[in-house]
Structure 1
Amino acid sequence: MDCLFCKIVAGEIPARKLYEDDQVLAFHDIAPQAPLHILVIPKKHISTLLDLSAADTALAGHILFTAQRLAKDQGCAEGFRVVMNCNELGGQTVYHIHMHLMAKRQMTWPPG
Structure 2
Amino acid sequence: MPEDFYCDEVLSGKTKVDIVMETENVLAYYHTKPYWPVHIVAIPKKHIHSLITLEEGEQGILLELLSVIRKVAADVTEEHGACRVLTNLGEYQDSKHLHWHILSGEKLR
- TM-score for both structures, normalised by structure 2: 0.81
Q: Does 1:4 align with 2:12?
A: no
The count of residues paired between Structure 1 and Structure 2 equals 104
SS of residue matched to 2:85: strand
Question: Compared with structure 1, are the counterparts of its residues 35 and 17 closer, same or farther at alpha carbon in structure 2 (3 Å cutoff)?
Answer: same
Q: CA deviation at 1:106?
A: 6.2
Q: Does 1:18 align with 2:14?
A: no
1:60 pairs, out of 52, 59, 62, with 62
Aligned residues of 1:63 and 1:99 also touching (Cα < 8 A): no
Aligned residues of 1:37 and 1:101 also touching (Cα < 8 A): yes
Match of 1:96 in 2: 97
More helix by share: 2
Unaligned segments of structure 1, at least 5 residues: none
Unaligned segments of structure 2, at least 5 residues: none
Which of 1 and 2 has higher RCO (CA within 8 Å, sep 6+)?
A: 2
The residue identity in structure 2 corresponding to 1:100 is: H
The residue identity in structure 1 corresponding to 2:23 is: D
* Cα deviation code 1:16-66 (max 9, x no counterpart): 211112101111112322211100000000112222011111211221211
- TM-score for both structures, normalised by structure 1: 0.79
